[in-house]
Structure 1
Amino acid sequence: MQVDNSNITHKIDSLVQKLVGKFRSLYVPPEVIVVDESMIKFYGRLRIKTYNPSKASSYGIKVYKLCTVNSYTWSYEIYAGASIQYEGLDKPGTVVAKLCEPLLDQGRVLIADNYYTSVPLAKYLKDRKSDLCGTLRKNRVGLPLNVTKSKLKKGQCVARQKDNYITVLKWHDKRDVLMISTCHGDEMTSVRTRLGETLKPNAVIDYNDAKKGIDVADQLSSYHSPLHKSLTWFKKVAVDLLFRVAVVNARCIYNEYSTEAPLTMLEVQEQIIRHLLGPSANVTTPARPPSQGLSTHKLTEIPRRNNMLVRKRCTNCYTKLRKEGMPAASKAKQVHTECIQCHKAFCLDCFNNVHC
């Protein structure tokens, strides 16, 4: 098969397509879905490397994701520079349309931030029997000026409808918040905050509840991450898909359908490793009882105080330095390990010399 080398992602495309196909076949998303981007940290030379100061990893490979509210990644696409645009949509709008194409015409609600949202995207989704809700940039084309240029005080809200189904809403909290929605009006609900009761638009409440899905997915995938600095870029994408995104998805499915206690990311990873290693991983060798005359000395950590490491001078180093006439109190090694039987602090070398 001939490979198209003009496509910079050709080395990883087949793996992405295969895994995304699996993700889509294993789980049916609920009514609300979320689109946003994530970053895979990469500082090497790469044509598609991007900079995003709002992310924890500012430099790296940008990945567009479609997630559910419970953090399941259903669609995954690598940013590869210029691409074909849908007629009537800008580039961010085209990304949204591509990611959620199999889920359109089913009455779902799409949540997106102000990088993706626009009036043409709202019209496109509405024509495909889907709704859009998200924050909005005030310089987008086709917005009502009496909303975007209105001056509001804290708690005030103003909204107008466009084409009888697109609501453009502006609400002032700590600052102005501009929203677009095809499934909300200007209704407001009282919510409790740390400052007390306050009125908040329903569009803002639903956006906040749903948008956290992809943020939680990124947070979970960062725990116990297997990514290494020395990996080439396409290997980093492969590791991200196989050992971060896929593991988070497995955890989401298990916790949603299992009647047992929810698993943490570490527990999920341990279960996967045990399954891959087979039955031998679950067999533990019984501890051999200490025989007569066998040393029971063992190096262990000094008990912590207020969850802080406790350090002491190595007993053997201290004794040696005193015999040599050296200032032992300042030169002896500081360690946080001691012999479990002697209750004396030892560094590893001294422990091996004295007890082994």
Structure 2
Amino acid sequence: MYPQSLRDLTLEMSNLYSVQNKDKPLNLNMEELLVFYGVLLTSGYCTVPRRHLLWSLDDDVHNNCISNAMRRNRFDEIMASIHVVDNTKCNNDPFFKVRPIFQELNSSYKILPFSKWLSVDESMIPYYGRHGYKQFIKGKPIRYGYKVWSLASSGGYLYHMEPYAGVHTLLPETGLGQGPSVVLGLAEQAGVPGGCNFAHDNLFTTLSLIDEMTKRGYGCTGTLRQNRLFAVPFKPMGEFQKLQRGSTEVLSEGEKLLVRWRDNSVVTVASNVEDVYSEVPVKRWNKERKAYDYLQQPHIIHSYNQQMGGVDLHDLQVSRYHSTIRSKKWWWPIYAWTLHSAVVNSWLFHRDVMNGDYDLLGFQRVVAQSLLKKFGTAPKGHGRPSSMLAAVTDIHRK
């Protein structure tokens, strides 16, 4: 998932950056780069307040696997010079510094065939520093950071990602609005074959998008905002909200099926996947009776709820054991996030295709320890001992 071409590019550009900006050759080799990745992955589940404590000899923080693989000062040198581009060839792309990472990973992620159902949503990479395209999204778990348009399977496997950069976003413009352009652009750039079904929320869904997806041979299911219904002859919202829980309203036009359902709130879903309306039983908690009510839920909404959360699931897995090593460089959060995204995709491939029995933590530990033990070089000696190692006598203690 993290291809050889990207590792070779990182090796070349890091050595070049060190010569250009520090007047000192870094002499980074592939073994050291792989150990560097191993340290980043290890820091995701062996967390310390400061990264230098990973090399400390104190009993409470000592990490034998890391300290026997690479010296602390050497890690700092690599950390200061790690790059994937030549800074002398800068262009107008706001994400120029990390663009090769997205290109290489989008290519390598296609090793797994596209699933029947695909989820389109935005991913947020946490970042609290200064950058022209840092986003703020109110009410989200991650409010500040870089927004990435993502295409994933319903199981959380990421197929394609594109960072949002306003007018500089590398997605084709369709004239249908931002949301539809993202869905159609991701489908086009990722090379999604016809017959796949897309699930997305009300940020992306419009009636014109469903018509266009039908022309291109894709299925499309998504929630709709009230102000995008236009001339759809539904009941007024205020009148529909007064109906009892479980009430539905169904309309069909051509290959589009529009369903409005009264749950805790009113939800409207449009789809070209199902042309026949059907229902499934569900239970909802009744606060007044303090018991469950059994209602009939439209099957199209039930299907949407099952298939929609793929991107959020991928983000959740990435955040579980994310590297705690930080940098002041604006692009470092993207660099670390993409590394862990490749780990999550590798784990899903190992679990679903190769029938592996590791959970994500076990898989990441195996990968990190393999890199550190196979490619690491044990130091000949340790540096100055920590003052914490000095025994405290009873005289000093009292």
* Map 1:238-277 → 2, pairs under 5 A: 238-242=335-339, 244-261=340-357, 263-277=358-372
* Structure 1 pair 21–104 and aligned structure 2 pair: CA distance change class (3 A): closer
8 Å Cα contact 2:126-2:146 kept in structure 1: yes
* Map 1:81-92 → 2, pairs under 5 A: 81-82=166-167, 83=169, 86-92=173-179
**SS, match of residue 6 in structure 1:** coil
| In structure 1, C-alpha distance between the alignment counterparts of 2:293 and 2:354, rounded to whole Å | 37
| In structure 2, C-alpha distance between the alignment counterparts of 1:270 and 1:18, rounded to whole Å | 24
Aligned position for 1:56? 141
Aligned position for 1:303? none
Cα-to-partner distance string for 1:73-113 (whole Å, 9 max, x where unaligned): 11111001115653342111111111122444520110000
| In structure 2, C-alpha distance between the alignment counterparts of 1:75 and 1:67, rounded to whole Å | 7
Q: Which segment is superposed worse, 72-81 or 4-13?
A: 4-13
Aligned position for 2:264? 174
The match for 1:155 among 246, 259, 271 is: 246
* Structure 1 pair 143–136 and aligned structure 2 pair: CA distance change class (3 A): farther
The match for 2:281 among 165, 169, 190 is: 190
8 Å Cα contact 1:118-1:136 kept in structure 2: yes
* Structure 1 pair 231–67 and aligned structure 2 pair: CA distance change class (3 A): farther
Unaligned runs of 5+ in 2: 1-85, 286-291, 377-387
The match for 1:200 among 297, 301, 310 is: 297
Following TM superposition, by how much is the alpha carbon of 1:198 offset from its aligned partner in structure 2, in angstroms? 2.0
* Map 1:113-124 → 2, pairs under 5 A: 113-124=201-212
Q: Does 1:230 align with 2:327?
A: yes
* Counterpart residue type for residue 127 of structure 2: F
8 Å Cα contact 1:39-1:55 kept in structure 2: no
The match for 2:125 among 40, 43, 58 is: 40
Cα-to-partner distance string for 1:45-99 (whole Å, 9 max, x where unaligned): 1111111123221011111111101100111110011156533421111111111
Q: Does 1:212 align with 2:309?
A: yes
Aligned position for 2:101? 15
Q: Does 1:67 align with 2:122?
A: no
**SS, match of residue 125 in structure 2:** strand
8 Å Cα contact 1:86-1:94 kept in structure 2: yes
**SS, match of residue 309 in structure 2:** helix
* Structure 1 pair 20–167 and aligned structure 2 pair: CA distance change class (3 A): same
| In structure 2, C-alpha distance between the alignment counterparts of 1:171 and 1:59, rounded to whole Å | 33
8 Å Cα contact 1:108-1:131 kept in structure 2: yes
Cα-to-partner distance string for 1:244-303 (whole Å, 9 max, x where unaligned): 211111111111123442x2222111111122234488xxxxxxxxxxxxxxxxxxxxxx
* Structure of higher RCO (CA pairs closer than 8 Å, 6+ residues apart): 2
Structure whose alpha-carbon radius of gyration is higher: 1
Aligned position for 1:134? 222
Q: Which segment is superposed worse, 272-281 or 43-52?
A: 272-281
| In structure 2, C-alpha distance between the alignment counterparts of 1:80 and 1:189, rounded to whole Å | 41
* Structure 1 pair 119–4 and aligned structure 2 pair: CA distance change class (3 A): farther
Q: Which segment is superposed worse, 28-37 or 214-223?
A: 214-223
Q: Which segment is superposed worse, 191-200 or 267-276?
A: 191-200
| In structure 1, C-alpha distance between the alignment counterparts of 2:120 and 2:150, rounded to whole Å | 6
Unaligned runs of 5+ in 1: 282-347
Cα-to-partner distance string for 1:203-231 (whole Å, 9 max, x where unaligned): 11111111222222111111121155534
8 Å Cα contact 1:159-1:168 kept in structure 2: yes
| In structure 1, C-alpha distance between the alignment counterparts of 2:333 and 2:147, rounded to whole Å | 12
| In structure 1, C-alpha distance between the alignment counterparts of 2:245 and 2:323, rounded to whole Å | 45
| In structure 1, C-alpha distance between the alignment counterparts of 2:222 and 2:93, rounded to whole Å | 32
8 Å Cα contact 1:33-1:111 kept in structure 2: yes
User: Structure 1 length as normaliser, TM-score?
Assistant: 0.73
Structure with more of its chain in helix, by fraction: 2
| In structure 2, C-alpha distance between the alignment counterparts of 1:270 and 1:134, rounded to whole Å | 38
* Structure 1 pair 49–169 and aligned structure 2 pair: CA distance change class (3 A): same
**SS, match of residue 145 in structure 1:** coil
* Map 1:302-317 → 2, pairs under 5 A: none
Q: Kindly tell me the number of residue pairs found equivalent between the two proteins.
A: 284
8 Å Cα contact 1:34-1:69 kept in structure 2: yes
Q: Which segment is superposed worse, 249-258 or 146-155?
A: 146-155
* Counterpart residue type for residue 218 of structure 1: D
**SS, match of residue 273 in structure 2:** coil
8 Å Cα contact 2:172-2:185 kept in structure 1: no
* Structure 1 pair 198–148 and aligned structure 2 pair: CA distance change class (3 A): same
8 Å Cα contact 2:118-2:197 kept in structure 1: yes
* Structure 1 pair 93–100 and aligned structure 2 pair: CA distance change class (3 A): same
Superposition RMSD in Å: 2.4
**SS, match of residue 146 in structure 1:** coil
8 Å Cα contact 1:104-1:128 kept in structure 2: no
Following TM superposition, by how much is the alpha carbon of 1:199 offset from its aligned partner in structure 2, in angstroms? 1.0
* Structure 1 pair 38–148 and aligned structure 2 pair: CA distance change class (3 A): farther
* Counterpart residue type for residue 160 of structure 1: L
The share of aligned pairs that are identical, in percent, is 24
